[in-house]
Amino acid sequence: MKPNLKFELSVKDIRIIEEALNNKVMRRSQRILDGEDPEILQTEAAEIRDLLGRIHNQKNWYRPNNAIYVGG
């Protein structure tokens, strides 16, 4: 059996996934502050941040061609 390599996710779906992953990183960070095993939690948080970075790098950012771009 082959894995599905074509996903059909909407922009909203990706936003929900990103928010969930960011919340998970925050929970891991709070657990570290509460004294739980920092080594395992830091590894998990780093893996999630890496995934969030890969999602971010795959986005196509909109920039209008016929108007002045104002970032922010």
Q: Which amino acid is at 9?
A: L
The answer to whether position 18 is within a domain reads yes
Q: Which amino acid is at 16?
A: I
The answer to whether position 47 is within a domain reads yes
Residue with tokens 């890496």: 50
The answer to whether position 40 is within a domain reads yes
Q: Please tell me the predicted confidence (pLDDT) of residue 64.
A: 72
The answer to whether position 62 is within a domain reads no
Q: How many domains does the chain have?
A: 1
The answer to whether position 3 is within a domain reads no
Query: Using one digit for the tens of pLDDT, what is the confidence trace for 10-48?
Result: 989 999 999 999 999 999 999 989 988 889 888 999 999
The answer to whether position 69 is within a domain reads no
Q: Please tell me the predicted confidence (pLDDT) of residue 72.
A: 61
Residues 19, 28, 30, CA angle at the centre, nearest 5°?
Answer: 105
The answer to whether position 31 is within a domain reads yes
Q: Which domain holds residue 27?
A: 14-56
